[in-house]
Amino acid sequence: MGTHGEKRLADEMTLTGGRPLAGTINVQGAKNAALPVMAAAILLRGQSLRLECVPDLYDIQTMCRLLCHLGAEVEFENGCMTINVPDEIECETPVELVRKMRASSLVLGPLTARCGRAVMPLPGGCDLGSRPLDFHLKGLAKMGADIELKGGAVTATAGRLKGATITLDFPSVGATENLMMAASLAEGTTFIENAAKEPEISNLAEILRLMGVQIKGDGTEIIRITGMNELHSASGEIIPDRIEAATYLMAGVITKGCVTVRGIAPEFLESVLNKMEEAGADIDVFNGEITAKWKGPLQGVTVKTLPYPGFPTDTQPQMMALLTLANGNSVIHESVFDSRLLHIDEFRKMGAKIEVQDNVAIVTGVSKLTGAEVLSSNLRAGAALIMLGLAAEGKTTVRGLEHVWRGYEGLVEKFRSLGAEIEIAEPAVE
Ligand code: EPZ
């Protein structure tokens, strides 16, 4: 069985703030597209899926290990991945991998559809509040699967799944992806109503079409999937990571610099770019590049996170970081997750003024932040703390970087190429 070696990276870094960032960044492949697309390989039987522009991240390594555990062979080098899937695969997922990454739940739909049985411990992942799987399980049940929850694991069993009309209570990204993949081998046609419309959904649909699935409506709220008996080998490409791109653009502005990201369509980031402009950043889109430039003190704004194409929850901590130094107040309403404001305590250690009521943060801009020792509790909070460390006076040490390595490829090199002063401690010896 092929495996993907695991590189361990440092767990802490020290940043020296006060230097404006300047330069151009090539955007990585989207983590949140690559993970469901890798899971879709499970739908194949004795076939291969070849992918380009796959980012090299901890979460990708975890998904590689999960696919290998199930019996697939994975080769992954320089962004190119080949997943060879044998005729027979396992249908039980290992608890240590599922607890490590919530996106492991994306194998539930494909396994149920392809093996007629899937056993999965209830997943872990970031500390973003309770992240149930009820939409996923209700949809699979609608397609004929028998769902049993016992001992902290879920078992889905089914003969051949049957197409159904499934209406999601919320446009859940993961549920839309799991049900699209399950429907790909179901008998008949499935409609997913109130589907998520993120670009990553369309990337998955594109790869499924290349594998032989008939899918229409991805990117809208109703997706129609006509199931096939067998799917075939395919080659496809992972779209650029809009969240990574937004992070570097905001880092350019918070450090009073000018950062350009290359290789990302501006429409993937429209709500973010509009909100940055409203706050007073200079945004320029030209010739396949997006540039964000500081042109004077930012003004406070109101932000509400929403499903795509609304303001992405995955850029909420980074936007909050930007607004801690704006003139006046900002109101940030996190409406997608019930607990994605835990980074505020760490921001306060650096002098940020933020009050929280329910899922709404009121940020009062301050004239400066001061370096401190802070802890990253999840992926995007970690990126936001690094942004603050680059903008604060003095030195900031950010710990808990394993969260950051889950989603940001080459982060230290990329920030250093923009002029950031970053020291990293050697990775802890395992
Ligand atoms: C995906 O998570 C992303 N992860 C998240 O990115 C992203 O924040 C999220 O979508 C929203 O855009 C991947 O794609 C791997 P959801 P997912 O299902 O699918 C509730 C990052 O930083 N819900 O759209 O887990 C859920 O609790 C990560 O890259 C249910 O109640 O998100 C949440 O409040 C973090 N029942 C809301 O829906 C369910 O069955 C949205 O969750 C499923 C979800």
- Tokens linked to 99: 């607890």
Asked if 46 and 24 sit in the same domain, the reply is no
pLDDT at 339: 86
Measured from the CB, is residue 155 less than 6 Å from ligand 1? no
Residues 261, 25 contacting (CB under 8 angstroms): yes
224 lines ligand 1 (CB under 6 A): no
Q: Provide the domain count of the chain.
A: 2
Looking at the fold, whether 200 and 224 belong to one and the same domain comes out as yes
> Same domain for 48 and 146?
yes
Q: Tell me, what's the pLDDT at 1? A: 32
59 CB-side CA count, 13 A: 30
User: What pLDDT was estimated at residue 59?
Assistant: 96
- Our answer on whether the CB atom of 407 is closer than 6 Å to any ligand 1 atom is yes
Residue nearest to atom 31 of ligand 1 (CA): 132
Q: How far is the CA of 257 from the centre of ligand 1 (A)?
A: 32
pLDDT number for residue 3: 41
Distances from the Cα of 310 to the Cα of 8, 111, 274, 340, angstroms: 35, 32, 11, 17
Q: What is the pLDDT of residues 33-55, one digit of tens each?
A: 999 999 999 999 999 999 999 99
CATH of the domain at 350: 3.65.10.10
Residues spanned by the domain of 386: 12-28+240-425
Q: What is the pLDDT of residue 7?
A: 65
Q: Are strands 189-193 and 165-167 parallel, antiparallel or unpaired?
A: parallel
Q: What tokens appear for 335 in the block?
A: 């409406």
Question: Which pairs with CB-CB distance under 8 Å and at least 24 residues apart come from 269-276?
Answer: 269/242, 269/245, 270/309, 271/306, 271/309, 271/310, 271/311, 271/312, 272/242, 272/246, 272/311, 272/312, 272/315, 272/319, 273/249, 275/301, 275/303, 275/311, 275/319, 276/249, 276/250, 276/322
Tens digit of each residue's pLDDT (9 = 90 or more) over 250-273 = 999 999 999 999 999 999 999 999
> Residue 378 CA: which ligand 1 atom is closest?
22
Mean pLDDT, the chain cut into blocks of 10 residues (430 residues total): 58 96 98 98 98 97 97 98 97 90 95 96 68 92 96 93 98 98 98 98 98 98 98 98 98 98 96 98 95 98 98 98 98 94 96 96 98 96 98 97 95 98 79
> What separation, in Å, do the N-terminal and C-terminal C-alpha atoms of the chain show?
24
Asked, for residue 151, whether it belongs to a domain, the answer is: yes
Q: Are residues 182 and 279 in the same domain?
A: no
Sheet with 421-424, strands from edge to edge, namely 373-375, 395-399, 12-16, 421-424
Q: Give the side-chain half-sphere CA count within 13 A for 359.
A: 16
The confidence score (pLDDT) of residue 132 equals 85
pLDDT at 428: 63
Model pLDDT, residue 211: 98
Tell me if 2 is assigned to some domain: no
Answer with the one of 176, 202, 234 that is the final residue of a domain: 234
Domain boundary among 207, 234, 261: 234
Q: What is the pLDDT of residue 194?
A: 98
Alpha carbon 209 to chain centroid, angstroms = 22
pLDDT tens readout for residues 369-395? 999 999 998 999 999 999 999 999 999
According to the model, what pLDDT value does residue 248 have?
A: 98
Q: How far apart are CA 253 and CA 276, in angstroms?
A: 9
Identify whether 126 is a catalytic site residue: yes
Cα 99 to ligand 1 centre (Å): 15
Q: Does the CB atom of residue 173 touch ligand 1 within 6 A?
A: yes
- 398 occurs within a structural domain: yes
Name the active-site residue from 91, 115, 126, 258. Answer: 126
336 Cβ below 6 A of ligand 1: yes
